[in-house]
Amino acid sequence: MSNHPSISDLRTEFKKGSLDEHDVDKNPFSQFNTWFKEAVNSKIPEVNAMALATADLQGRPSARMVLLKQYDENGFVFFSNYASAKARNLTDNPHAALLLFWEPLERQIRIVGTVKKISAAESFDYFRSRPVDSQLGAWASQQSTEISARSLLEKAFGEMLEKFKNGEIPLPPQWGGYRVIPDEFEFWQGRTNRLHDRIAYRKQTDGSWKIVRLSP
């Protein structure tokens, strides 16, 4: 262990960009779209991967990676099993935070808001666009439940493969999308000397957005 550098000594100097509250778009969704397109064009792997943070009624937090699959001015959509641990959190406490981090651009976006299930029709539109194996996996897995061996999961997958071999795979009743409806955004651009740029948007009671600069 002594031959390895201490984690406290690890340093990265951020020099790739800047962010000014006078230059960002007045609409946070438009600003998100601009940055997301730049991230896509930068060929960042898993560019739509984001951390989803939830909490239960006791305030005990939980976080995991999910994939952003849709976004517009109505919010940001991801998909999950409705009986999963994250789903139970969201039933008890329908508030969440999202975090996207794009290291090659030295940027991150934080989004906070309320969460609602999308319609079954919206979920099915996305579900049928998935590869067949992914559709079958949604039927086979009872997400977050304990299993004694992987073989049970593979057995369930085989059973679903046989069950739906001759027709369209229907939407599982326990699977679908969630939409995070933001009331706060933060756009973070790494800068030198740890004096990072942080521009926040806060939703006002009239539906407009207030833009402020935060100290790093």
Give me the active site residues, please. Answer: 194
In sequence order, what DSSP letters do the residues of the chain get, joined into one string?
Answer: -TTSPPGGG------S----TTTS-SSHHHHHHHHHHHHHHTT-TTTTEEEEEEE-TT--EEEEEEE--EEETTEEEEEEETTSHHHHHHHH--EEEEEEEEGGGTEEEEEEEEEEEPPHHHHHHHHTTS-HHHHHHHHH--TT---S-HHHHHHHHHHHHHHTTTSPPPPPTTEEEEEEEEEEEEEEE--GGG--EEEEEEE-TTS-EEEEEE--
